[in-house]
Every structure is written in C-alpha cells, then in structure tokens.
C-alpha cells in the first residue's frame, strides 16, 4: 500500500454533510461536506483522547468530536475547545488532525493520501471525458468491497484473456488478440488488444482498448465490437488494508441520438449494470480470492505470455511508484494497532513538522519518501 497517491474514497452522491468513516491504507479517515458542499477528508482519530470523529456531528463548516466537543475545520485545525481550557477559542497549537487534499472526479470523491505539497503532487488524468457528456452517455456507478489485495484487483482490469474464460457473457468473444502498446509513461499505459477476425487477420475495429494510470489506480477498458455501441468500463481500486480493497466501477454506454437511432436504451444499459453487479464482479472474485501469492507476484514465479504484457507493465509501474513515493509497512502498522495511533502523512506534516500529536505510519525501509515524525 503506497502513499502519495489519489485514492477513491466514496461515491460523491453518498457523501452528504453527515460524516462518513472510510478505512484506506490501513488507517481510518473521516469525510464530510461543509455548508458549501466542499468535501473534506481528515484523520478519523481525535487528537485529544482518540475518539472517532466520524461518530460526531457536522455543525456549520465544522466537525464536532463526539467525546468532548472539540471543533475541527476542514483544514484539520481545532478552532474551539468548549470545556477544559481557559479560552475556548484558543486551543493548543497541536490541536489538529491531518487533513488530506480532496478532488471529485467521475462521481467519485478522491483523497490524496501523502505529504507531497501541491506543486509536487501528481494530477488525476481525465481518463473519462464521456462522464462530462450526460446527454450522450448512460452512466452506472457500482461499489464493492472484496478481501483481495488491491494490486491483484487492478491487474484484473488489464488482463484481457481472463474475460473469455471467467465471464459467462464474454465466452462468445473472439479469443485471439494482438497487443499494441500505444503510449507509455512511468505511471500510464495505453494498449489496444485487437481481436483476430475469422481468417486470423487483425481487426483494428474489434477489440479492447486498455488504459491504466497508477495515479488514482484507475483502469479504463473500452470495448469495440463492430455494429455494437462502445462500452466503457472505468474501475479504480482502493486498498482498505493489504488484504481488502474497495472497488469503484463506472459503466458507460452511449444513449440514442436525437433521432432516436444508435446507442442503447436506459433499460438495456441498466441490464449491463445489474449483470456486472450481480454476476460479473462475483465471477472475478471467485477466482481472485484464491490466487497465490495474495499480493502481486514476482514475474519469476509466474509464466507470463504475450497477452500479459499490459498487466505486467501496470504491475511494474505500480511497484516502482510505491518504491519511489513510500509504501506503508502493513505488518509493522498492525503490530502497533492496539496500543498506538499512527496516521497517514499529509502535506501539513511536511510543511509544519513537529506540530502533530500522532506519529505517521511506518514505511518500508527501501522507500525514498520523506518520513516525517510527529
């Protein structure tokens, strides 16, 4: 589980002004919206005596701790201590909890979990421009929790060949594919998996366009079949902890044009959403829950073939990013869980070190990130 990345925290429409608790990267976080509707993400652990802030209330733009009523802004700073100090409006300097940058994209709330300042922070790519065309596209949003490691789940969206074998609905699809990597950076890959036609020739109009971006752990699959409207699937995977993940999936299909032609009806689109939720995701899970090792494997312990090239690229760029920007030591964090509080580093840890009650999570020794003490 690596820090300094954007992770989808929840579905935007499900975040109201009531606080919501979300576990990401092994730590508890609280999300809430202020009066203007702006979403905030804070550590869920109160810096006073450790109560869960998500069990509190939002009042005006403030999050109120359920235990002694300390009042926190979206910045994480406590602005009022109602009892126990001489001047309630002058809390101690360390009266603050980490606050994480938030951005809403494609109907999801993403939080940046890390200490990079704004200038260094990677940007979420607009991998789904269709989302901004509601007249042109049906959009379905699904969210599921699975007890599968997040890299394993993310790889599944860059593995074209499992589709023919695992998924009932796809068994008719042509099985031969040829992969052409169209674009690749340190964090992004785009490849076209062209299907073969009946004569064994590559068909550029038929196949699967696959994209993966480490930033946000976002995969996009665009399925092209002659005579059938394009189907776009965007999936993002968030580690709850090393063994559990939250998947958010968007399913898009074109609406009929103004003349009523082309595209799909809302009913037909809803059939795809329902089938994905009730069948397709479970078909993947039935296999992935038993795959060994439970975390991403070394290539030396697998026999990868031609069509595994995109998932192998995606895995490598994910592991390289973790090495460069900091990976949580999940074992060490678990050993501390019952007796200590550890929080994910936020930009404030870097800009104002030494001003925090809770220490940051242990990171694996090989990582190059700045490790900031409380």
> Rule CB under 5 A: which residues touch Fe ion?
284
48 binds, among ligand FES, Fe ion, none (CB under 5 to 8 A by kind): ligand FES
For residue 259, give both structure tokens.
Answer: 């003349």
272 binds, among Fe ion, ligand FES, none (CB under 5 to 8 A by kind): none
Pairing of strands 202-213, 108-113: unpaired
Residue 79's CB is within 10 A of a number of other CB atoms, namely 17
Question: Is 67 an interacting residue with respect to ligand FES (CB under 6 A)?
Answer: yes
Greatest CA separation for the chain: 84
Residue 88's CB is within 10 A of a number of other CB atoms, namely 15
325 binds, among ligand FES, Fe ion, none (CB under 5 to 8 A by kind): none
Decide: 207 and 224 in contact? Cβ < 8 Å: yes
Rule CB under 6 A: choose which of 11, 51, 281, 336 binds ligand FES: 51
For residue 49, give both structure tokens.
Answer: 């005596």
67 binds, among ligand FES, Fe ion, none (CB under 5 to 8 A by kind): ligand FES
Q: Which is nearer to ligand FES, 315 or 358 (CB)?
A: 358
Decide: 173 and 160 in contact? Cβ < 8 Å: no
Using alpha carbons only, what angle is made at residue 248 by residues 247 and 251, rounded to the nearest 5 degrees? Answer: 130
Rule CB under 6 A: choose which of 12, 22, 46, 195 binds ligand FES: 46
Q: Which is nearer to Fe ion, 61 or 284 (CB)?
A: 284
Alpha carbon distance 224, 216 (integer Å): 25
For residue 239, the SS3 value is: strand
Question: Is 72 an interacting residue with respect to ligand FES (CB under 6 A)?
Answer: no
Q: Which is nearer to ligand FES, 64 or 111 (CB)?
A: 64
Question: Is 65 an interacting residue with respect to ligand FES (CB under 6 A)?
Answer: yes
DSSP category for residue 344? -
Q: How far is the CB of 207 from ligand FES (least distance, A)?
A: 55
Q: Which is nearer to Fe ion, 157 or 321 (CB)?
A: 157
- Positions touching ligand FES (CB under 6 A) are 46, 48-49, 51, 65, 67-68, 70
């Amino acid at each position: 589980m690596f820090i300094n990345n954007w992770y989808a925290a929840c579905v935007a429409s499900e975040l109201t002004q009531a606080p919501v608790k979300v576990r990401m990267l092994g730590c508890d976080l609280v999300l809430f919206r202020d009066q203007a509707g702006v979403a905030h993400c804070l550590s869920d652990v109160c810096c006073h005596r450790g109560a869960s802030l998500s069990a509190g209330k939002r009042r005006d733009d403030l999050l109120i701790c359920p235990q002694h009523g300390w009042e926190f802004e979206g910045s994480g700073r406590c602005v009022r201590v109602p009892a126990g100090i001489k001047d309630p409006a002058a809390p101690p300097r360390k009266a603050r909890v980490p606050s994480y940058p938030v951005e809403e994209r494609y109907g999801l709330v993403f939080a940046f979990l890390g200490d990079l300042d704004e200038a260094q922070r990677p940007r979420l790519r607009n991998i789904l421009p269709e989302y901004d065309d509601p007249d042109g596209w049906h959009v379905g949003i699904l969210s599921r929790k699975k007890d599968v490691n997040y890299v394993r789940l993310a790889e599944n969206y860059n593995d074209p060949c499992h589709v023919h074998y695992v998924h009932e609905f796809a068994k008719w699809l042509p099985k031969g594919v040829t992969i052409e990597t169209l674009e690749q950076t340190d964090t992004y890959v785009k490849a076209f998996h062209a299907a073969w036609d009946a004569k064994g020739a590559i068909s550029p109009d038929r196949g699967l366009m696959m994209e993966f971006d480490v930033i946000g752990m976002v995969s996009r699959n665009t399925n092209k079949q002659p005579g059938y409207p394009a189907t776009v699937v965007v999936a993002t995977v968030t580690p709850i902890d090393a063994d559990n993940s939250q998947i958010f999936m968007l399913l898009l299909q074109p609406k009929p044009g103004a003349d009523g032609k082309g595209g799909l009806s809302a009913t037909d689109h809803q059939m795809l959403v329902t089938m994905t939720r009730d069948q397709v995701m479970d078909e993947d899970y039935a296999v992935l829950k038993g795959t060994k090792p439970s975390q991403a494997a070394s290539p030396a312990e697998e026999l990868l073939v031609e069509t595994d090239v995109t998932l192998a690229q995606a895995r490598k760029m994910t592991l390289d990013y973790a090495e460069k920007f900091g990976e949580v030591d999940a074992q060490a964090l678990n050993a501390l869980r019952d007796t200590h509080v550890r929080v994910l580093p936020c930009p404030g840890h870097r800009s104002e070190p030494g001003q925090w009650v809770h220490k940051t999570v242990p990171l694996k020794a090989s990582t190059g990130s700045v490790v900031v003490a409380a």
